Structure 1
């Protein structure tokens, strides 16, 4: 088990783009277009563009810090490096939840598409848009089956990643061509309420609740696994741009094909876009258009896409758990790697338990889980632009292979955009995610106390901005306009303005807190500046084989 830098730095730029694109094309393309159209109508096209711009801004901030700190599972570590252990655990906790939750959601996607099979037992998997008891059992089976494959060795699946990605790329492209060729109804873009039948607030909601953010979240795989690239500083930003650009083009094509492909009589019968509710959007539409070969291809793709995406998800979720164990907030046993199979088995057991918990609680449908997971993803993004601001002030000597241009302007705007995206998730999903994230605070207090920390106030000082921000946003969401699920005390338009302006204040508070934390010495030794020059390799030693095996993808 050679852990040398030469062996570990094996990912080419193409392989890294394939990993990112493979993660972007999970179950998002199977459901995103249908769900976004139901929420926003034809204006769902705009939702994809907004989502890509938002994720692109987030990704570029992570490109700077990710290239500077090419550590495995780095997204769970930036908070610790910038603000110290408490904020590090809170952001790492949010990242772990967001990524680990992707594992069961891909299984739910496969199960929902199985309901389009021409078998009696398959049709009973989904009822009224949600999984039945047998559907839940099938989703659980698929989750455990993939988990077992990775449990014994990630290598076999990882070596097939490039091929799987190319297949996943080809299936939606062929589906778009087939749907457009079978009959494209331009009237669908203006009839039944116009281009934005549910108003522009619905477009914003579609960004976070309809799988748009969920789909583009695959960029995290590039950041988390980019430390294994041959030239991380060049590869990470280029791979991010490449994967997101290709992803946007295909998702726009899928959305346009779906909107134009729905038969006008079906749209009229449903009473407009809000009444369109396909359990397997593209397969159901292809069936309606008598495109049987497309149905078969999509049913095949419903297994290939989620399974391929979960290769990166399983590895990334393991890194997240191991990093939390490294900082002492998860049991140390979570760090262990099997000496023979090279898999992080304790971390995988933890992730399996979390996956099952999500399945039996909120996993009754892809749409239900995707909306909550998307909001959790937005919380996990918050530290990126803040880390850029903190490191620019506290670590000017840090080697930066990639520097975000106009960071003083773009970072505050990106943070404000993230705050708005979290608000667009709608109450009560925002409340659920706020509560789920804040659970980390008392856990951090208990762990630090057990480790002998005498001044909890000192340790928590750099994290107060995050606690206050989440409570503030949750309150605004509950009191905000009815378009975003609130009780209407704050009128529409004013609510977004309050969120955006207040977010700018929280951004500067967060950066100032990070600077003060460094003056107080809370972040501890820097894994790059205070290491032996190969901090990424040292840090990855505990992460074990999943990354090492992915480097040969």
Structure 2
């Protein structure tokens, strides 16, 4: 591990010169917000995201189709005990989010956790973290856009798949290419709709559990134990279900990426990460608990992932809401578009930082007059094009391989974030005069515990075939990235 440079104090420090000669210098450069949303002097990115928008960006990327449609597979693995899996996942993600928030508030720079990894772990870590996260985000963007197209075709089956994909892609790209303020406003309202719909679901489901309807009695919590007990598949199933559960939480990292364009980085990140941690915990754990309480878990496990099979559709149907599937299709469509929107933002910003640090082609570092990394944005839409081709030709095997790499990438990025935090915290504890802002009590120990938790999730590869495939392909992909970094380092050394 390389010795970190003396970190800047965050937004309170004077602007660093743009004429940095090394990636480490670029990574640690911070500047105060530009007046009236002007580009920051160090990066050219525009600081115009408010604390409310920053929080909603995190919710937008994390609350996706994984909750609304994908929870059935987790229920299938663990039965009612999936509640424990979601609770453990919520605690693990909350710890990572708060620790990441502390680091991001201290270093609200372009490249976010990738730039911090560069500073505290070494250039190789910054390279691997950013490229790995970018690739996973690009794959997720593609899957969310394809999912959106499928939801549209649920209403209008005659619409060509390619046309539906292009329509959604055009909307998402337009929102991101205008300026960061446009993106923040759009994502705020999309996420608000999702959160409102989820809150409405929780209230309706709770009413059915405790009071019932005139012609249907209250279900209570009998379904949690009346079909094989609370853990029908055994205690081990809670661990196995984590392989599905944890990826439903992925996406909150976009909040840290947004710190470079936040109006008040320290306040925005501190507020956003704390609110994100408890909101995700409440939404996921409470929603899943109510779903399993209302409907026998084997019925939920039998779902095939279609709109009609969604646990949320089943609950709305039990309530007697007309056109329950249509209502849920609206919600999952908004969820998918919102997630694609947020991930495209995060992917483009990390790719821009790689270009700015000389670790990717130089054109990717260019910004428009509005402070938007248009080239990095265009490159990040490759996932949409790839997903469209794969969907058009129905090449399911290749798509599964790409998703396996994306799943592995999430765990590796989390581990690198935690490793960066441990190094960052050691430096902060020995040089407190270099830092301002909040500090998490016992943060170093929490990072170690969280790291063990992430490794435990990765260890499900022993039992889960999909995770085993993800680990094998992901490790090979990581080796390729390290090889690319070595070649890049050699080329740069020859130039100097």
Q: TM-score, normalised by structure 1?
A: 0.70
Within the alignment, does 1:241 sit opposite 2:274 as a pair? yes
Q: Which residue of 2 aligns with 1:487?
A: none
Within the alignment, does 1:375 sit opposite 2:411 as a pair? no
Q: How does 1:397-546 map to 2 (within 5 A)?
A: 397=431, 398-424=434-460, 426-452=467-493
Match of residue 175, structure 1, among 177, 201, 206? 201
1:7–1:320 Cα change, 3 Å: closer
2-side partners of 1:343 and 1:33: how far apart? 36
1:379–1:4 Cα change, 3 Å: closer
Q: Which residue of 2 aligns with 1:163?
A: 189
> What is the deviation of 1:312?
2.5
Within the alignment, does 1:71 sit opposite 2:109 as a pair? yes
> What is the deviation of 1:194?
2.4
Q: Which residue of 2 aligns with 1:304?
A: 334
Q: Which residue of 2 aligns with 1:345?
A: 374
Q: Which residue of 1 aligns with 2:65?
A: 27
2-side partners of 1:283 and 1:412: how far apart? 36
- Count of aligned pairs: 434
CA contact (8 A) 2:108 2:260 kept: yes
**Tell me, which stretches of 5 or more residues in structure 2 are unaligned?**
1-36, 462-466
Q: Give runs of ≥4 in structure 1 deviating > 6 Å.
A: 365-371
Within the alignment, does 1:357 sit opposite 2:357 as a pair? no
2-side partners of 1:74 and 1:383: how far apart? 12
Match of residue 98, structure 2, among 57, 60, 71? 60
CA contact (8 A) 1:113 1:283 kept: no
Match of residue 359, structure 2, among 312, 329, 347? 329
1:140–1:203 Cα change, 3 Å: farther
1-side partners of 2:385 and 2:83: how far apart? 34
1:4–1:72 Cα change, 3 Å: closer
Match of residue 89, structure 2, among 42, 51, 59? 51
Q: Which residue of 2 aligns with 1:276?
A: 303
CA contact (8 A) 1:72 1:319 kept: yes
CA shift digits 1:38-65 (9 cap, x unpaired): 2221111111111111111212221222
> What is the deviation of 1:255?
1.0
2-side partners of 1:108 and 1:191: how far apart? 38
1:51–1:164 Cα change, 3 Å: same
1-side partners of 2:333 and 2:128: how far apart? 34
> What is the deviation of 1:399?
0.7
CA contact (8 A) 1:213 1:374 kept: no
Q: CA RMSD in A?
A: 3.3
Query: What secondary structure, in the 3-state scheme, does the structure 2 residue paired with 1:77 have?
Result: helix
Within the alignment, does 1:14 sit opposite 2:52 as a pair? yes
Within the alignment, does 1:190 sit opposite 2:219 as a pair? no
> What is the deviation of 1:198?
2.6
> What is the deviation of 1:138?
4.0
Match of residue 95, structure 1, among 133, 144, 149? 133
2-side partners of 1:368 and 1:283: how far apart? 29
1-side partners of 2:47 and 2:418: how far apart? 27
Q: Which residue of 2 aligns with 1:315?
A: 345
CA shift digits 1:76-97 (9 cap, x unpaired): 2122111322222112222222
Within the alignment, does 1:2 sit opposite 2:38 as a pair? yes
**Tell me, which stretches of 5 or more residues in structure 1 are unaligned?**
123-133, 456-553
Deviates more, 1:434-443 or 1:100-109: 100-109
CA contact (8 A) 1:214 1:373 kept: no
Query: What secondary structure, in the 3-state scheme, does the structure 1 residue paired with 2:257 have?
Result: helix
Q: Which residue of 2 aligns with 1:295?
A: 325
Q: TM-score, normalised by structure 2?
A: 0.77
> What is the deviation of 1:283?
5.7
> What is the deviation of 1:294?
3.7
1-side partners of 2:371 and 2:240: how far apart? 42
> What is the deviation of 1:240?
0.9
CA shift digits 1:255-314 (9 cap, x unpaired): 12322333x5xx66x6xx543333221464257545325433322212222222333222
